[in-house]
Structure 1
Amino acid sequence: MEYPGRVVVITGGASGIGLATAKAMAARGAIPVLVDREREALDRATEALRAQGATQVMPAVCDVTDFDAMQALARDVMTRFGRVDVLFNNAGVAVGGPIAEMRHSDWRWIIDVDLWGPVHGVEAFLPHLLANGSGGHLLFTASFAGLVPNVGLGPYCVAKYGVVALAEVLQKELRSAGIGVSVLCPMRVATNIGHSDRNRDDRYGGAVDSPAVAAQDDDNPDLAGRVLDVESVAAAVLDGIERNLLYILPHRESRAFIERRFNRILRDLDAAL
């Protein structure tokens, strides 16, 4: 993809993977639209992009769980730039703990942000990508937990499996329109997702103490040492877009776990025949 002049909308864009990707794309000439619900972080991110030479940056305070707000955001972007070329549905939160201990508000929060958020993004922006008539790209941050489930991350896994499925279906449906689709499925990344409760409002029970979101599947080895920095993940994202990959897997070691999962499915299939 040629980035100069391309309008890139990134949710969860004020920090972490979103901001690192915005910086990488802006360095190649893209026009970043940073979407986040944290105004102070958004202001800092905007200044950081301008400091690196990005002359056009659009910050937007928006909650991805609010469908009407996302629709209004799309209208604002179109009014200002007249086009959207890339949508990166990246905003996400997590809660740790066994499913048996999850409150209904935990489920609602995770599903609303991590699954409805991307759906709202697609509903708001896909019509504009299609109207461009010049291709574009849809990108989703799922997780390795959207491919191989982790004990202690039940609601998060459910949402991320949904995001992977959303990307897989869209990839088939949009191929003829020349719109690429990629889903990012990293393992551990150095972000603030472990402190998601800072953005949990009263609709979802407010901030609560919960176990670390880095809970591990009991048949997985310790992954604590396998943490990528956000810049490495952003580089993988740009490479994945360039090669039009459906699955972007920045951790090489994920291969063994994916093979184990699908071999288990095939063994059970063979046993049932």
Structure 2
Amino acid sequence: MTAPLSIPTAEELRSELTRLFDGAAGPLIITHRGTTLGSFPDNTVRAAVAALRSGTDIVEVDVIRSLDGEYFLFHNGYENKHFASGTDLRTLTAAEIDERSFQWQGERGALRPTRLTDLLEALPDAWLNIDRSWFYWPELLDLLTEVGAVRRLLLKSPPEAAALTALAAHPTPFLYYPIVTSPEEFERVRAVDGLNLIGAEVLAATPDDPYADPAAVTSLAEEFPLVQVNALNLENGARLYLGHDDETAILEDPALGWGPLARSGATAIQTDWPHLLRDYLVTQGLRSAE
């Protein structure tokens, strides 16, 4: 007879997050798709391991579902970049996805897409942020609960009604934060009963955007533990936080790229360069050198 699932309470999960913040003693570092240098393609176990060894606190990953219902780490739309083929992986069976290999990183034919369950099994103690997955709720939430991947997992999504409804109705109180552009948008999420809400990822493209004001960010952080800003430079050129980003930090000056993010009032910064960001935060006295 199978033992019943032990589902932690919302308070227990929030306590786990508190311990993570206490250990960091400063802004959390979230690494976008893992550390993807050299032979390490993004959204793979090796990229996640590299991020952890580069000093990240949390590894962010994306999830897709195969035609026959298996989950893989991948950001759809990047098939041609990684596999030299425009075929949408979501239209393939799991067996067909298993046969794909990364073309431009790693030994040709040796690296293949990672199944979500393989990542969870390989790194059971790592904190993960599953970003692009809300299309698959609640089925994916069921799987994550069944495999026991709850205590070190953060879920994120845009404030889409269908996703919020599915998450709020699920019996597992996953740690969750939405991607928002204004306090009004955040309040609409907050009004949804049943969410284990821990904060938000805030976006500000221009100085006129609400969260460009550090007071608005700080106000949110005074009430919720995780308030994230982004240093990412995405392929679409989107300005995620006023143009303060990894490229500026690395090519010009860390004080111009990461400094404003560290002073924004946020409690977490997402980057593609965790080791360099961590070094900067340490030199500024914003993180422990441990």
Shorter-chain TM-score tier: 0.3 to 0.5
The structure with the largest helix share of the pair is 1
TM-score, structure 1 normalization: 0.35
TM-score, structure 2 normalization: 0.33
